[in-house]
Structure 1
Amino acid sequence: MQRAIKNITQEELAHAVSVSRQTINAMEKGKYVPSTVLALKIARYFGKTVEDIFTLEVED
């Protein structure tokens, strides 16, 4: 994840996008799917597109 590449803590990212550290943790573990707004905030924070940050996993 971009957070690790940029050496940013979960707490720092959470604060920047106005969510809890637990939300960031759950997203990284695949237990929480972010809303479109949150995905856009995270992408903007890193200067990337949503597609650069998140991947769509389609279940058959």
Structure 2
Amino acid sequence: MHSVKLAGRAAAVLAFAAATVTAVAVPASAQTVDKATFAFSGDSGDWISGGQSYAYDTAANDR
């Protein structure tokens, strides 16, 4: 009974390790675009937006 639990845990640990290594080992890439817009906003106290609104547009030469 204990060996079955141990084998299951070992398999779970190995699967997690393999997924982590795969996620870390994949190089990042970006797709180039001709035209695009992106906008976001957030609540006050939000650590990304700081409660502000932001907009980016390739037509305005934003990068």
Bin for the TM-score computed over the shorter chain: under 0.3
- Structure number with the higher strand fraction is 2
Structure-2-length-normalised TM-score: 0.20
Structure-1-length-normalised TM-score: 0.21
